[in-house]
A and B are shown apart, each in its own frame.
Chain A
Amino acid sequence: MGSTNSTLSKIPNVEELMEETGFTPAHIVRLYDRFEALDKEKTGHLRPQDFGAINRLAMNPIGDRIIGAFFSPGQETVDFHSFVRILAHFRPADKKHPKDPSMPEPVNSRTSKLKFAFQLYDQDKDGKISRAELLQVLRSMLEMQVTEEQLESIADRTIQEADLDNDDAISFEEFRKVPLGRARRLTYQHGPLQHSAPRILSQPHRK
């Protein structure tokens, strides 16, 4: 565990980070290794092109959007803390902790996850998914052979189904109401980091 501690000491404010996100030290170290691996020029920040280097993301229809979600508006870089914070959305929900209404919403609660997903759709950050934004998402997730008219009809019907207050856009509340079989799956269910971190640490670190 010596290497864990030494790595942890390299990270500023690491206790605060762990407190806020709920990751264990092993997780943090694991993520830090990943962060460093991505940050090829060792600047301590990640830029869009570092994400772009992940080839598999280019094979993801909404890959670029997700990259964008890491960057707050106006920001050009992501530091380690923001990186971890965003990934923390996908930690398994803590069932053990009782729900304390006075505390702020934990970062990996269902609502936070949905909010993150919502941001993917809502590019202009106005709190609503307009028809145009929905069209864009659909366009990126459907094959090329789907025509514009078909696309528009799908978008129209979708808004029709989900839009409850008839403003021709989907707000976050309406978004939440769409019953999601998979929202609960937006987690690493067994905390793969929980599995992997000890394994990584138990193996001699090879480069």
Chain B
Amino acid sequence: MACRTCLWLLGTTFFTCTVRLVVEGTEVGATQGSQPEPGVVGSNHSQAGGGHGSSISGIQIVTFKWHHVEAPYLIALWILVAGVSKMVVELNHSLTSVIPESALLILIGWILGGIIYGADKMQTFTLTPTVFFFYLLPQVILDAGYFMPNKLFFSNMGAILVYAVIGTCWNAATVGLGLWGCWLGGAMGDIDIGLLQFLLFGSLIAAVDPVAVIAVFEEVHVNEVLFIMVFGESLLNDGVTVVLFNVFDAFVSLGGAEIDAVEIIKGIISFFVVAFGGSLVGIIFALLISLLTRCTKNIQIIEPGFIFILGYLSYLTAEMLSLSAILSIVFCGICCQKYINANMDERSVTTVRYVMKVFANGSETIIFVFLGISAIDPAVWVWNTGFILLTLLFIFVFRFIGVFLLTWILNKYRLVPLEFIDQVVMSYGGLRGAVAYGLVAMLDENKFKEKNLMVSTTLIVVYFTVMLQGITMKPLVTWLKVKRAAVTELTLAEKIQNRTFDHMLVAIEDISGQIGHNYMRDKWHNFEERWLCWFLMKPSARKSRDYIFNIFHQLNLKDAMSYVKEGERRGSLAFVRNETKADVDFNKKFRASFSEIMPDIMADNMGPDHVPLSSILQDIVPSVCLVMHEQDLTMRESEDFNAHHLLQQHLYRGRKQHRHRYSRSHLETNRDENEVQEIFQRTMRSRLESFKSAKMGVAPAKKIQTKHQKKDKPQKMPNGNSSDKSKNHPYGDKGTCSLLFTSLLHYMKWLTITTSPSSPIKGPPTSCGMHNNTVPLKGD
């Protein structure tokens, strides 16, 4: 199987090269012949490709029209080759867990590059900046923005900005100046370069690359905060990189003499303009997308297209205005997520999500393969030991210093300090990637005499970080964590207890509350609910939330009442028979709202002001959890295998173990959401049960006031059976009923976006009076 795909891969490459050779051969032959007349270009093309002369000898039944299809054919072929390479890479899972995919793809790129070079004697295919920046990068970044966990991102925004802006500037300055110093000291020999060029080089090599970062962090599971730091930094530092690059490029053009304070100030101002301008463009496009999807009720099939086109347009618009294109598309994705998911049809949402992953994956693969291929080009190779080694050293060392320094400063202001191991992972995870290569390839050779040297160095840096650091990330972390608790075989009782304690701790935290309200956050929330949702969401999306609330509430009320009445009418046996019928299937009703709300709720309160107390318990949430990863993968062999295995698989994981996984290649329905949903359903169901059993013990002749219209909704069967028939509600009967209804009420409040004070929350306040058992019941 592996052999076959390898052969096929090689075959396609050979085919590409030979086709080109053949074509070139025929081209040469053909152009010696006819001169194409302006009006008949088309037919002459076909003739030139087919025959060897200019004279038409007869009707050609089949002609070889290579030139006709050359460009699109090659593109399609390369996409195919990239796809097949990815397949080859994924063949062996144990290999990919040791070596990250990106490294393997680069290897394949080298092989392919070698083949092509061997066939063509020159590198015909390289990663050109245009192709990279216009066709390959946008999808990747749009994917990152669209799937960004917003709450987490914005709560940690301060820290992310510090790392992105100050960290990148620090890296750029130190690397540039360090190299310049060493050049002055003669470590690099004789090269035609100056301070400004060093600074420019420093600025383009300093930026952490989002593509590479994800690729490596797929295998190393880190906790949410750490992940969002590195990821957020890699996305936001583009603002800085673009500015620095342009500024230093302009300075190099101007020459050293022209730089004065004015220019420097202009440079600083341009940073703000570029960064905020780019974000603004992105936000405007996000608004556009939301508005558009709001109006597509009648033609839902085209909805997914809008997202991609408008996302791409936001990228290009920012590029056109010389603002930060990456920031633009990131914010476009971030801001439009919520509204388009609410507005669009379910299938459109799924389509968008899936297609986005397809594109992002494809782009990433092509990027890495071409990064490999581009290296096999002797024309660009200039070796300068000093330059290259020093660059490697400096980016590595200065990254560490920068991160530790900034973290030390940040920890004074953060409630949850970033630990040592977090900082190590962050520093070590600062990978450089294709963006740096794209930028360096854009340099003008005339201004930068040493462009090839820089290109070679950049390539080496990229390979070093992606391959070496990628491969060694996991072992490094394991080694660092080896002082922590070893995974010993726990007894069943221990496991159960551990899990119970986890849950208990989470519950106590919830009871004792969060650390104060975040004023700004509440204001934003109110603003958003009142204005934005009204403006950007489809009326039906908004209404359905209220609708759900009403329906749900009525249903349960109705269930409860009918249940009680049945029981009263028929005697206690009826309870046994009708029990399951009165349960409400939460799943079907609330799936859509659940999936939006749940991640919010779970990722809620993660910022410095809203830190769940458990994250202050430094021991419990390990920053890098390889243990969990292995537990997922391995099975435990022990004599009571079954019991342990069952526990392993099926114990609810508890909230603080929910990791948010952003993954380029996996679009999994969040298991955590399902779990939370299931737990919630069971809790509600058990409360309903207790309510029913409580009602049992109450004397008849009760009437319950109903103020809503009755709507006829089919009752769904619950999934799973509640075998928990215990009448063991821990708090009294009266407590149970009121608990049930007020918890339902609060749940619904939580789900709905009630914007006006006169919200449709009738009923429950009066039904709370039920616990006094004196509310009159009207007939159904």
Q: Which residues of A contact B (CB under 8 A)?
A: 31, 34, 37-38, 47-49, 51-71, 76, 87, 90, 117, 120-121, 123, 136-146, 148, 150, 153-154, 157-158, 161-162, 170, 178-183, 185-190, 192, 195-196, 199-200, 203, 206
Contact = CB atoms under 8 A, between A and B. Distances in A.
Closest 8 CB pairs of A and B: A68-B730, A144-B720, A52-B743, A48-B735, A196-B515, A49-B742, A34-B513, A162-B493
16 contacts: A34-B512, A48-B732, A52-B687, A56-B506, A58-B747, A59-B676, A64-B730, A67-B731, A138-B496, A141-B651, A142-B647, A144-B682, A153-B642, A157-B492, A182-B501, A185-B619
Given A47-B738, A58-B743, A62-B507, A142 B651 contact: yes
Interface residues of B, number: 78
Most A CB within 10 A of own CB, among B513, B611, B676, B680: B513
B709 interface: no
Contact of B493 (A140, A178, A199): A178
Interface in B738-760: 738-743, 746-747, 750
B617 A189 contact: yes
A189 B679 contact: no
A181 B485 contact: yes
Most A CB within 10 A of own CB, among B492, B498, B719: B492
A140 B682 contact: yes
B683 A64 contact: yes
Contact of B504 (A37, A62, A181): A62
B620 interface: yes
A61 B503 contact: yes
Contacts of B732: 48, 76
Nearest to A138: B496
Contact of B646 (A69, A144, A150, A188): A150
Interface of B: 415, 485, 491-494, 496-508, 510-513, 515-517, 519, 601, 611, 613, 616-620, 640, 642-643, 646-647, 650-652, 655, 675-676, 678-680, 682-684, 686-687, 719-721, 723-724, 726, 728-732, 734-736, 738-743, 746-747, 750, 768
A203 to B, nearest CB: 7
Nearest to A47: B735
A121 B496 CA distance: 11
A38 B643 CA distance: 40
A60 B506 contact: yes
A43 B640 CA distance: 52
A63 B750 CA distance: 18
B501 A145 contact: no
A49 B687 CA distance: 11
B613 A180 contact: no
Nearest to B684: A58
Nearest to B513: A34
A193 to B, nearest CB: 8
B515 A192 contact: yes
A48 B738 contact: yes
B616 A195 contact: yes
Contacts of A60: 503, 506-507, 510, 655, 679, 683
Contacts of A71: 730-731, 735
A148 B720 CA distance: 12
A179 B742 contact: no
B730 A117 contact: no
B616 A186 contact: no
B27 to A, nearest CB: 65
Given A52-B742, A58-B684, A185-B620, A154 B646 contact: yes
A123 B500 CA distance: 15
Given A71-B731, A141-B500, A196-B515, 16 more contacts: A31-B512, A52-B739, A55-B747, A71-B730, A87-B511, A117-B497, A143-B675, A144-B721, A158-B643, A170-B493, A178-B497, A182-B620, A185-B620, A188-B616, A190-B618, A199-B516
A178 B730 contact: no
A37 B513 contact: yes
Contacts of A51: 511, 739
Contact of A145 (B640, B650, B746): B650
B504 A179 contact: no
Given A34-B513, A117-B501, A61 B679 contact: yes
A123 B724 CA distance: 14
A140 B601 CA distance: 22
A62 B498 CA distance: 13
A62 B735 CA distance: 17
A142 B723 CA distance: 12
